[in-house]
Copies of this chain bind each other. A is one copy, B any other.
Amino acid sequence: MKNTIKIKPLGDKVLVAPSKEDSKTKSGLYIPETASKERPEQGLVIAVGEGKVADDGRLVPIKVKKGQTVLFSKYGPDEVKVGDQEYLIISESNILAIIE
């Protein structure tokens, strides 16, 4: 990211840089183009919000951390770009799994 810009996600939001297609193939994991199931996306966590305020006032911190590779549901992420790099802002509940 350019050093003049920093995107700080709020609440339960997570900032993710989606993986390029070839990086997926290299690791052995890929997302098949099937019609019968939902297709998640893979990406790198860049920043996370502080968490969601629960009904009783407690702050529930976000479970994923900066630097982790995650699979997330492709439903409805917001997209921004800084130069050529695409970023997605997604809700934590749409993150399905961590890839290690």
| A53 and B64 contacting across the interface, CB-CB below 8 Å | no
Known: A54-B55, A57-B56. A10 touches B98 (CB 8 A): yes
The number of chain A residues with a CB under 8 A from chain B is 52
Q: Which residues of B contact A8 (CB under 8 A)?
A: 97-100
Interface residues of A in 2-57 (CB under 8 A from B): 2, 4-11, 13, 15, 27-32, 34, 37-40, 50, 53-57
- For the complex formed, measure the closest distance between the CB of A61 and the CB atoms of chain B, giving whole angstroms: 10
Inter-chain contact B60/A96, CB cutoff 8 Å: no
Write out, one digit per residue, whether chain A residues 51-78 have a CB within 8 A of any chain B CB (1) or not (0). Answer: 0011111101001100000010100111
Could you pull out 16 A-B pairs where Cβ atoms are within 8 angstroms?
A: A5-B99, A7-B97, A7-B98, A9-B96, A10-B64, A10-B97, A15-B97, A29-B80, A29-B81, A31-B79, A34-B79, A40-B78, A40-B80, A53-B54, A55-B55, A55-B56
